[in-house]
Amino acid sequence: MEIEKTSTEEVYSFLNPQWRQFFDEKGLPFDISRYAIAAYQSQDLVGAAVIKIKGGLCRLEDIFVRENQRRKGIGSQLLSFIEQEAIKSSCRRIVAETSELHEEALSFYHKHNFNVIAKIPDYYYGATWFILAKDL
């Protein structure tokens, strides 16, 4: 047997049918989607996000706004767009994660009515990380 790194496309072409069969056997819909969302200003990419929608949940995997573009409402607009996409996909909740290293992100999530639902000490980079959620 050989184990090696490969492309995510190859792995998902294997995993998706496996998971589809698993969900079918459980009587659940196979509704996994990933989206990349971009914020442009004068054709310049100034912010972006990646979400995964699965089983009535929207997982905000990444969101970032260029430092020189922060506090201009771009992150809020991205999050609003994400919330609308989640609602269209019948999601009941959005979940995100951030760490104590990123106080600005924690403030951002709290400002947008996310609540800490879990705290994980000594996680990535040895920092404490927070799982946050917002019910839709």
Q: What is the pTM of this model?
A: 0.84
Distance CA 5, CA 12 (A): 13
Q: What is the mean pLDDT of residues 27-43?
A: 90
pLDDT of residue 86: 95
Query: How many CB atoms sit inside 10 A of residue 108's CB?
Result: 20
What are the structural domains of the chain?
31-135 (3.40.630.30)
Q: Which helix (H) or strand (E) holds 95?
A: strand 93-99
Are the beta carbons of 109 and 99 closer than 8 angstroms?
no
**pLDDT tens per residue across span 88-98:** 999 999 999 99
Query: How many CB atoms sit inside 10 A of residue 65's CB?
Result: 22
**pLDDT tens per residue across span 45-69:** 999 999 999 989 999 999 999 999 9
Distance CA 71, CA 108 (A): 10
